[in-house]
Structure formats: structure tokens, C-alpha cells
Copies of this chain bind each other. A is one copy, B any other.
């Protein structure tokens, strides 16, 4: 079992895909037989089998009994025909090499971390968390041998319900289900509201991980614009609801990722009304809601919901403990189904992080800590905006985010953000290319920069490198 096996079968798969892309192989054409391909590519029969099964899984080719493999005709899913607008589409696969590069860069301490949307480890209350862990080891010495099945630890759920009340979304304990992070909550939320083939309303641009989850679940997307100053486009939502059958909406009203916009309360109220009246559940990713860069903590869409159709997803990842992988899905209408879905997808969230997080929230230091994080992020963002103004070429535009730690940078129209991403990575600087934030291939000349890291000479130098790369593009 050589570990280069994966590479070999991918090479064969790429070969077939290239032949299809070039038109050498067309829909319904027979793909070279396994033996012929093995001879031709100089690989084993089992490698070719693996490549073909992989391509079949991707829907690129199909096997026919006793006949071999054939290029698949483009599917006509019923959902496509029901949609009047052209913008509904299967999410574009984020290129696998982009994901691989992002993951590798994340694990590589030598890469300046301006790619992923995570704060610097120093911005977390590490000392306090470690003190609470020691407390739990004393009070619950058997925690490692114990599991807390869904809906999760009652104390933690109570603390989350209490927090929701503080920002205008009163929540009974029964509505809170603990998950393994916010993305896990989103995955579960889509799972309990949609069936494969359903269309999900999303913003454009939106967080690439949300598009990936949608793709992973076999769903389609319909995009509505998110504007830096006014957030989610209400008129576009109104049109989308009229013209389409939607399985769910997956929205990020409190600080769109990557734009950083906040959708105002009136717009939230209207969007909730438009969607829930039509029976369309709303899954809101509220993971950065606690991090406005000025003004009060904005309300989640849940605050405007009378139907029970909203699922609010959050986590402690941006404020208390990125490494805990503990989050929550909060919903009046779907809590029971979310609880069951969590149990059957991965049984339970980890025990110790739940116990520690419950104590952290109960101990009262959270609000003070978060105020400090907001101040730090606001200072970071200002430093990055100044740096972009000084080091990036003319034609670059950047909007000041209302919350979170991200800068959405529009480069001059001729610049390819994906090339900037690659060139920057080659020079030890991580950023995210704009195209991954849309299912329709837009935002080619954009990049997203994480300002979660405090300004330093190392960061300044990284930003100068970035500016030079963009200028030369």
C-alpha cells in the first residue's frame, strides 16, 4: 500500500477529465477500457478502477453492466426546470488544490496566517480556560469515560439560552442543541430541512465553507447579493421567494463572511417574514455575531421569528476556544430533529469542552473578554486598511467591515485573485482567493484577508509582499 497511491489514481482521473474538457471524450462516449488505460497510463489495473469509481462518484462517468464506462450525459434535475432564474446552480467545487493548499498552509507555522478566518491564539482567554479545565478535572475526574449525548450538557445549554436573551432573542432551554462547532450545526440544519436536489438561498459573496457543505449534501444554490453597506439585498430575497421553490435559506446577517457587513434589523425582519411565510426555514450562521467592531451586539434573525422556522448556528470558536470544536444550533421548530440528527451523524460533542465552556460562561468574564477582543480586532482592521491603502496599487478598493476580522479586497479588474493566492503562498503568505466565495464564479479579482492577527513587523512585511504581488499582476 504505497502512500503515493492516491496521487496515481488522481492522475488517471485528471487525464479523463482533461479529455472530456478538451472535447476528445464527449457525453455518452465510451471511456478507454480499464486494461487499455492501465497500459496507456503505466499504472496498475486497480489504480484505474479506483480512478473510474472516483469519476463515477463525481458524476463524470457512469458504468453500464457488461459494457464498461461511459461519459455521463449532463443531468436534467427536475429542480433546474422549476427555477425561473438562471442563477440557481450547483455550487462550484472549490478547486481541490485550493483546499489542499489552505489546509497545508494552516498547519505550516511558517506561513503568515492571513488566509483562514481565525483570530490569533493569543486573543483567546487561554489562562482562564486552563484554570477551568483543572477545576473540571478535580470535580469530574471521570469526564473522559463519560459521554454527554444530544441535546448536550444542560448547564451549557442554559448559559447559551441566557446569552440569547441578552441580545433580544429569548430562548427556552429546550431549543438549544450542542454541536461539534458552527459548521457542524449548519450541516445538521441543512440536513433536517432539505432533501438532495433542493435549492438553498445564499448570499453572494458568502463563506466558502457554507457553499462546500451545500455541495457536499447534494443541494443547489440561488444567490442574492450582499452589499457592504446594507447587507443582504431584501428586494432580491423577495424576487427569489416569488420565483423559486426553496428548501432553505442559509444566511449570515451578522457580519457576512467575507464582506463584514451587518444586515439591519428592518431588513432582517422583512427577510424572516418573506421566507417563513412561504415555509422556507432559515439557517443563520451567527458565529461572529458577538464581534461588532463598534455599536451593540446585533440581533440574530431568530429575534424576528414567530414561526419557529429559524435555526441559529453559533460557536465559541471566534471568542473563547477555537480548539474546542463546540457549537450550537438553536431553534424552536427543529430542536427535536436537530438533536436526533446530531446523535446519528456523530453521536455527541466532546465532554470536557462542554463542561469547561459552561463554567466559562457562568463565571461572568465573557462580556469583558469579548470587549477586549473587539477593541483588538478594530485596531487590527484599521492597521490592515491603512496598509492596503499604502501598499496596494491604484484601483484596489476595500470596505470597512462592521464586525468580525475580515477584509474583502477588490483588486484592479485585470488581477486574478487565485493567481495572487498562489504567488503569495509561494512567498509564505496565506490569503483566500475571491472565487471560492461564490457558486457562480464571480469575485475573480477579489481576495479575503484575515485581520485576526495583531499588527507586527512580520505582518507589515507580509502585506508589502502582497501589495507587490498584486501590483505586478
Contacts and interface: CB of A to CB of B under 8 A. Distances in A.
Interface of A: 1-3, 5-6, 9-10, 46, 49-50, 52-54, 57, 59, 63, 65, 82, 96, 99-100, 103, 106-107, 118-127, 129-130, 133-134, 137, 141-150, 170-175, 180-181, 183-184, 187, 191-196, 209, 212-213, 215-216, 218, 245, 276, 279, 281, 305-309, 317, 320-326, 332-337, 339-341, 343-353
B137 A133 contact: yes
B130 A144 contact: yes
Nearest to A118: B147
A337 B145 CA distance: 31
Interface core residue of A1, A46, A103, A308 (most chain B CB under 10 Å): A1
A130 B141 contact: yes
Contact of A322 (B54, B145, B191): B145
Given A10-B336, A126-B145, A130-B141, 10 more contacts: A1-B305, A6-B334, A9-B308, A46-B306, A50-B308, A100-B340, A127-B141, A144-B321, A147-B317, A322-B351
Nearest to A211: B344
Nearest to A191: B216
Given A103-B150, A149-B103, A344-B213, A122 B142 contact: yes
Given A5-B332, A53-B279, A129 B144 contact: yes
Contacts of A212: 344
B353 A320 contact: no
A184 B147 contact: no
Nearest to A49: B279
A333 B209 contact: no
B347 A350 contact: no
8 contacts: A6-B174, A6-B332, A99-B343, A121-B146, A124-B142, A134-B137, A146-B322, A181-B348
A308 B276 CA distance: 47
A216 to B, nearest CB: 6
A3 B172 contact: yes
A8 B99 CA distance: 43
Contacts of A57: 192-195
Given A3-B332, A216-B344, A307-B50, A121 B145 contact: yes
A347 B130 contact: no
Nearest to A194: B57
Nearest to A104: B149
Contacts of A191: 216
A134 B144 CA distance: 14
A321 B353 CA distance: 13
A89 to B, nearest CB: 18
Contacts of A308: 1, 5-6, 9, 46, 50
Given A57-B193, A245-B65, A308-B46, A322 B6 contact: no
Contacts of A344: 99, 183, 209, 212-213, 215-216
B333 A183 contact: no
B307 A144 contact: no
A130 B137 contact: yes
A40 B83 CA distance: 34
A100 to B, nearest CB: 7
B347 A245 contact: no
Contact of A103 (B50, B335, B343, B352): B343
Given A184-B345, A333-B9, A121 B103 contact: no
B53 A281 contact: yes
Interface core residue of A59, A191, A326, A336 (most chain B CB under 10 Å): A336
Contacts of A306: 1, 46
A10 B343 CA distance: 19
A260 B334 CA distance: 36
B352 A307 contact: no
Contacts of A142: 121-122, 124, 126
A402 to B, nearest CB: 24
A175 to B, nearest CB: 6
Contacts of A341: 216
A149 B350 contact: no
A433 to B, nearest CB: 17
Contacts of A322: 144-147, 351
